[in-house]
Structure 1
Amino acid sequence: MSTALSRLTRRRLLQGLGAAGLASALPLRAFADVATDTPLHGLSAFGDLKYPANFQAFDYATPEAPQGGRMNYSVPNWILNQSPQTFDTLNTFILQGNAPPRIESLYDGLMVSSLDEPDSLYGALASTVEISADRNVFTFALRPEARFSDGAPVTAGDVAFTYRTLKEKGHPSIAVSLREMTEAVAVDAQTFRLTFSGKQTYQETLEAFGLPVVPEAFFADRPFERTGLDVIPGSGGRRIGRMEVGRFIEYEKREDYWAKDLAFARGLDHFQTIRIDFFRDRQPALEAFKKGEITFREEFTTRSWAVEYDFPAVAAGHVIKREFPVETRPKFQCWALNQRRERFADPRVRRAINLCFDFEWTNQNILFGLRTHSDSPFEGSPYKAAGRPSEAELAILEPLRGQVPEGVFGDVWVQPVSDGTGNDRRLLREAVKLFDEAGWTRQGSGLVNGKGEPFRLEYMINGAEQQRVYGKFFDTLRRIGVDASFRLVDEAQYQDRQQRFDYDMILAAFSLGATPTREGLGLFFGSRARNVPGSYNFPGIADPAVDAIIAKVGEATTRADLTTAILCLDRVLRARLDWIPNINADMHRVAYWDLFGFKEPKPDYGFPVESLWWYDEARAKAIGRA
């Protein structure tokens, strides 16, 4: 199943739910088509729900699939404080520590999102929700059969405790999604009321309804933020089985799961055991896959995909290499140059650095032609701008003329195309010129400013692969006078420095929700998030015009309005190059031992194979792995 925690995923860095943006009054017409004071089985940001109140299962679910077996899984994405390299806490709801990926499978929320709709939610712990006439109060009727893994019933008191605690002490990306929550109350044991200030948008309230619920009694004698390796009971379909801290964890299917026959869970989560092994480096993980110790792996390294899947099991057909379509939602891989450090605050500097990266040479010589050059933080979605602004976009942008780059009003910025030699003199001359205009001139072998200070750029990485891919890029930077270097740190140090914004440059990869919210966009691009530890405004953007456009997203009453506002945001971000778009993959490239069955096609808005796929005993016997 899909929760608010799983709709926005991250690779290499973090993920969040919502963010800080400008507060604006909620336009009541945004709720015009939503019935009030009526029990509803589901909610959608725009338009109708796909599934009726009496639906039996999601269309992408497979109720007839066999149950049991195991998947030894190399996780392709993770959320909040989770890490694929190690773990030292089982609390994923706080900023501190490293939690194991997929621990969120222990927990249910009030509602779950479907993977074949962009923004619909259906009742999980809650059977129905009622919306007040003023659209600020949401009253949930809890299912009386809901139980935590320790057998205790899930009560409205637990839900109220969860929401109040997450707002006060939760991971920043959870806490900010509850910024406008003013009250979380247990009306009675089975009725929970959530009240907002009126400054929230409807889309932002939907994000809050998928948060995991935890038992209040568990925290009676322990602080929420210091649970360490204690297992916080959940009401979800899995429990923790065997584990060895920092090495592996196994999630077991709960035979007593209270919701296994309900529509939102039926036909999903077939494996008895999901095992995740932790590796400090990608190569040992790949070798474990070759040996069959890991049975599913998504490959993100082009060199490995091109030349390292030639081992005997592939030739014998025991291991399958396969490409699957990516999801229909925004995704980006971008560099963040830390504008909290003065030398990166000038957009001419950011543009000059980008010009030194020869994508065409890199793709041909390093990436085996398997990548595309990204232009936008909204790749793969209808929010990526093209050409000149439309009349609807100009209605938003014209009042900001003089506050945004003038180029916003012409053709949208796209990546330069090099001659592919790795030494495009035209682009390098332009880069040197931009540095000069920004006050950095050549003195001897390096660039210096008026104070004689050298221009230094340290790229913080937590794996050697980036050094291999971007080594030529940094050679070029050094050639034009930048004191450019890599700094390889371990995962714990990386996460700590990232959360404190202690870096010159990092690489981030995110997949966003199909219907971005004002709060979510603010966490990446908004001024208020600039200095919030654990937020995802890694470049340190603080621009009133950007904030104003994010506010327009919150005012959208139709999907067309939302799209127009985000197109404007895309144009401005690309003109400023706050996030510097990098490379993009247009497919999921996965390899798996031929042990599994799955339904096709995959859903458009998610690809949680550990939930969708199942163990196929006949296939396992055919390759001698039963």
Structure 2
Amino acid sequence: MKASRARLFAGLLLGLLSAAEAAPQHAITLYDEAPKYPADYRHFDFVNPAAPKGGTLRLSDFGGFDSLNPYIPKGNPASQINLIYDTLTFHSLDEPFTEYGLLAEKIEKDPEQRFVRFYLRPQARFNDGTPVTAEDVVFTFETLMKQGDPMYRNYYADVDKAVAEDRLRVRFDFKRAGNRELPLILGQLAILPKHWWEHRDFSKTNLEPPLGSGPYRIAKVDPGRSIRYERVKDYWAKDLPVNRGFYNFDAVVVDSYRDMTVALEAFKAGQFDFNEERIAKNWATAYDSPAVHDGRIVREELHNDNPWGMQGFAFNIRRPVFQDARVREAISLLFDFEWTNKQMFFGAYKRDASYFENSEMAAHALPDADELKILEPLRDKLPADAFSSVFKPPQSDGSGIIREQKRKAYRLLLDAGYKIVDDRMVGPDGTPLTFEFMLAQADFERVLLPYKRNLSELGIDMQIRLVDVSQYVNRLRNRDFDMMVASWPQSNSPGNEQREFWHSSSADKPGSRNYIGLRDPAIDTLVEGLINADSRQSLVLHARALDRALLWGHYVVPNWYLDTWRLAYWNRLAHPQKLPPYSYALMTWWQARENAQPAQTGANPAATAEPQGPN
């Protein structure tokens, strides 16, 4: 009897502990560590809570737009469209992965990761005054899973169902326990108004301004050319700690440009206010203007602590010509990064050598004993080099002469059954080694032309095809390309999106980010292991293992990366003195003055004009 009572007491105690662990919280983290900000926080450290409201932020984008629905695999959505929507939670910009309540006042995460429950704020409203309810959350989830971009079906593949428990409480049940990331990424859902969408066709592109609950609404649309957002003056969440110091401009206007050279000249002429420069040559040479010299245009380089991920010339291995890894490696060897960086980029870039570059998750050393435990069961399915060598892209002396790389590429092609016939590289079936490189940005052509020459010296014919943005998007979604520039950005806590990038389940889904066409059981296993990692250490180990499998598959020609943001802006803008490590947080900036003015000697008024507010 005593033993029975003891067991009963132990069971009750365990139940009470579980209930305590699952108590609703103001914020949730990946591994249940304490969030940086307590429940009574006033604002984030990286904002200026007393920033003045007013003015217009003028921005640019490339290529235009033909849709105001960013959630479907059709059309090219307008830039900054996310400003009209609120999400269940807000991702903190100065923590690796913490979500604070926004639409949701509290979040309850099951200790075994079998469900997550969101408690909506009673005051949450769409911008027509209609309350945001659990029914809207369920409608959003089900609509995105049925009619949204295929990314959502991969991203939320482990969600069984969404249930509206009452008007302000919604629960997501999972198909299996253990997916730690799932509660956090569900919090990132932008909630759509059921009453507005239920009589409209969500699957079609259109330019009717949609209803949201966010800090801005769409005020004017000039299709393909410009869009204007205006701040919602009675925005329901403007005084929440999660929003204090954000959304300071009365209006945000985005003008579209089809030529980035024209856009840069427009910026220097004062047609828009802010420019993140992505071209090293421009940063080095194109800002020689009176406005830069007298300080009206401010240039800053801010350190970027985000994992970079991978940018590269991606092979579509659905094409027969790219199904042999030796052919892919040979083509990769002929890209001379060192010469390109020296001659075109003013030595500004570093070579991308990891799918998790600029982070501890990059496989920049041999696997240790713990990582080998992950890799060993897959030994017969992975390249042998993944176990014995550290992947390093080929390196030249920057002279433009790459004889050794050409010799190695030639040997690889001979091993793959190729030979030279009439100065052309011809495969075992007599077909010349030729492919098309699809491109949307004309600026990239100058990078590809020297690469094309290196390839042609081995009899390989690369045709560069420049297409407009609309055609590019359609061909990309339909996998109608041989090779292209692709990027896979990474976060500090990679997870479910890796299915969208590399998993077999996404290979044939139009619009997914599995551009390469990967269908590899070993990579599938590594992706699932990463998603289900139960600690930070386990996540890092699985990321490194996945990194090795991808690198030694030679699926891309690695490009380059920069661990800084290069920002140029007119000094009528100001930003907080302390910006977060993972973002330059443009929506925390404000208008310091109406017109740009010459800077005073020894001072940068745009970076220091910060009114002091309450702590």
TM-score for the superposition, normalised by structure 2: 0.92
CA deviation string 1:478-521 (max 9, x = no partner): 1110111100000000011111111110111342221000x211
Answering whether residue 78 of structure 2 is matched by residue 100 of structure 1, we say yes
CA deviation string 1:442-462 (max 9, x = no partner): 111111112211111211000
Answering whether residue 415 of structure 2 is matched by residue 437 of structure 1, we say yes
Q: Distance in 1 between matches of 2:120 and 2:158?
A: 23
Structure whose CA Rg is larger: 2
- Residue of structure 1 equivalent to 2:11: none
- Which of 354, 377, 381 aligns to 1:376? It is 354
- Residue of structure 1 equivalent to 2:48: 62
Alignment of 1:424-463 (within 5 A): 424-463=402-441
CA deviation string 1:336-370 (max 9, x = no partner): 10100111111111111111111111111111111
Q: Distance in 1 between matches of 2:500 and 2:198?
A: 32
- Residue of structure 2 equivalent to 1:320: 298
Answering whether residue 34 of structure 2 is matched by residue 44 of structure 1, we say no
Instruction: Note the C-alpha offset of 1:390.
Output: 0.6
- Residue of structure 2 equivalent to 1:357: 335
Answering whether residue 590 of structure 2 is matched by residue 614 of structure 1, we say yes
Instruction: Note the C-alpha offset of 1:178.
Output: 2.2
Query: Which residue identity does 1:41 align to in structure 2?
Result: H
- Residue of structure 2 equivalent to 1:291: 269
Runs of 4+ more than 6 Å apart: 623-626
CA deviation string 1:146-188 (max 9, x = no partner): 1111111111111111111111111111232222222222222
Q: Distance in 2 between matches of 1:536 and 1:613?
A: 32
Query: Which residue identity does 2:29 align to in structure 1?
Result: S
- Residue of structure 1 equivalent to 2:381: 403
Over 3 Å counting, the alpha-carbon distance change for 1:174 and 1:203 in structure 2 is: same
- Residue of structure 1 equivalent to 2:12: none
- Which of 500, 506, 527 aligns to 1:523? It is 500
Q: Distance in 1 between matches of 2:286 and 2:111?
A: 60
Instruction: Note the C-alpha offset of 1:271.
Output: 1.1
SS at 1:275 equivalent: strand
Cα RMSD for the two superposed structures: 2.0
Q: Distance in 2 between matches of 1:215 and 1:299?
A: 36
Check conservation: 1:514, 1:605, Cα contact below 8 A.
no
Query: Which residue identity does 1:539 align to in structure 2?
Result: I
Q: Distance in 2 between matches of 1:301 and 1:43?
A: 38
Q: Distance in 1 between matches of 2:187 and 2:217?
A: 22
- Residue of structure 2 equivalent to 1:578: 555
- Which of 150, 159, 171 aligns to 1:193? It is 171
Q: Distance in 1 between matches of 2:327 and 2:561?
A: 23
* Higher mean C-alpha deviation, range 503-512 or range 174-183: 174-183
Instruction: Note the C-alpha offset of 1:413.
Output: 0.8
Check conservation: 1:336, 1:505, Cα contact below 8 A.
yes
Check conservation: 2:30, 2:181, Cα contact below 8 A.
yes
Instruction: Note the C-alpha offset of 1:132.
Output: 4.1
Over 3 Å counting, the alpha-carbon distance change for 1:510 and 1:297 in structure 2 is: farther
Check conservation: 2:296, 2:596, Cα contact below 8 A.
no
Instruction: Note the C-alpha offset of 1:214.
Output: 0.8
- Residue of structure 1 equivalent to 2:470: 492
- Residue of structure 2 equivalent to 1:480: 458
Q: Distance in 1 between matches of 2:246 and 2:73?
A: 30
- Residue of structure 2 equivalent to 1:551: 528
SS at 2:374 equivalent: helix
Alignment of 1:245-260 (within 5 A): 245-260=223-238
- Residue of structure 2 equivalent to 1:20: none
Alignment of 1:340-355 (within 5 A): 340-355=318-333
Answering whether residue 101 of structure 2 is matched by residue 123 of structure 1, we say yes
Check conservation: 1:241, 1:251, Cα contact below 8 A.
yes
Check conservation: 2:488, 2:501, Cα contact below 8 A.
no
- Which of 171, 179, 185 aligns to 1:207? It is 185
CA deviation string 1:95-121 (max 9, x = no partner): 111111110111111111100111110
Check conservation: 2:58, 2:254, Cα contact below 8 A.
yes
Check conservation: 2:59, 2:255, Cα contact below 8 A.
yes
Runs of at least 5 residues in structure 1 that lack an aligned partner in the other structure: 1-31, 76-83
Check conservation: 1:335, 1:505, Cα contact below 8 A.
yes
Instruction: Note the C-alpha offset of 1:621.
Output: 5.2
Answering whether residue 542 of structure 2 is matched by residue 565 of structure 1, we say yes
Q: Distance in 2 between matches of 1:369 and 1:134?
A: 49
Query: Which residue identity does 1:555 align to in structure 2?
Result: N
SS at 2:361 equivalent: coil
CA deviation string 1:24-44 (max 9, x = no partner): xxxxxxxx9995441211110
Q: Distance in 2 between matches of 1:401 and 1:198?
A: 28
Check conservation: 2:442, 2:466, Cα contact below 8 A.
yes
Runs of at least 5 residues in structure 2 that lack an aligned partner in the other structure: 1-16, 607-615
Query: Which residue identity does 2:229 align to in structure 1?
Result: Y
Check conservation: 1:167, 1:176, Cα contact below 8 A.
no
Instruction: Note the C-alpha offset of 1:394.
Output: 0.8
Answering whether residue 162 of structure 2 is matched by residue 184 of structure 1, we say yes
Over 3 Å counting, the alpha-carbon distance change for 1:618 and 1:277 in structure 2 is: closer
Q: Distance in 2 between matches of 1:313 and 1:360?
A: 33
* Higher mean C-alpha deviation, range 169-178 or range 490-499: 169-178
- Residue of structure 1 equivalent to 2:59: 73
Query: Which residue identity does 2:57 align to in structure 1?
Result: M
Answering whether residue 146 of structure 2 is matched by residue 168 of structure 1, we say yes
Instruction: Note the C-alpha offset of 1:202.
Output: 1.6
Q: Distance in 2 between matches of 1:319 and 1:133?
A: 51
Query: Which residue identity does 2:151 align to in structure 1?
Result: S
Query: Which residue identity does 1:613 align to in structure 2?
Result: W
Query: Which residue identity does 2:51 align to in structure 1?
Result: A
Identity %: 37
- Residue of structure 2 equivalent to 1:78: none
SS at 1:88 equivalent: coil
Query: Which residue identity does 1:105 align to in structure 2?
Result: L
- Which of 311, 314, 317 aligns to 1:339? It is 317
Q: Distance in 1 between matches of 2:248 and 2:19?
A: 35
Over 3 Å counting, the alpha-carbon distance change for 1:134 and 1:419 in structure 2 is: closer
CA deviation string 1:598-621 (max 9, x = no partner): 123321222231x12111018735
Check conservation: 1:330, 1:514, Cα contact below 8 A.
no
Over 3 Å counting, the alpha-carbon distance change for 1:466 and 1:557 in structure 2 is: same
Over 3 Å counting, the alpha-carbon distance change for 1:618 and 1:103 in structure 2 is: closer
Over 3 Å counting, the alpha-carbon distance change for 1:411 and 1:619 in structure 2 is: farther
Instruction: Note the C-alpha offset of 1:428.
Output: 0.6
Instruction: Note the C-alpha offset of 1:130.
Output: 2.1
Q: Distance in 2 between matches of 1:70 and 1:34?
A: 48
Over 3 Å counting, the alpha-carbon distance change for 1:197 and 1:478 in structure 2 is: same
Instruction: Note the C-alpha offset of 1:330.
Output: 3.7
SS at 2:170 equivalent: strand
Check conservation: 1:375, 1:581, Cα contact below 8 A.
yes
Over 3 Å counting, the alpha-carbon distance change for 1:43 and 1:327 in structure 2 is: same
Answering whether residue 566 of structure 2 is matched by residue 599 of structure 1, we say no
* Higher mean C-alpha deviation, range 170-179 or range 433-442: 170-179
Q: Distance in 1 between matches of 2:283 and 2:518?
A: 35
Check conservation: 2:91, 2:97, Cα contact below 8 A.
yes
Instruction: Note the C-alpha offset of 1:189.
Output: 1.6
Alignment of 1:527-542 (within 5 A): 527-542=504-519
Query: Which residue identity does 2:55 align to in structure 1?
Result: G
SS at 2:380 equivalent: coil
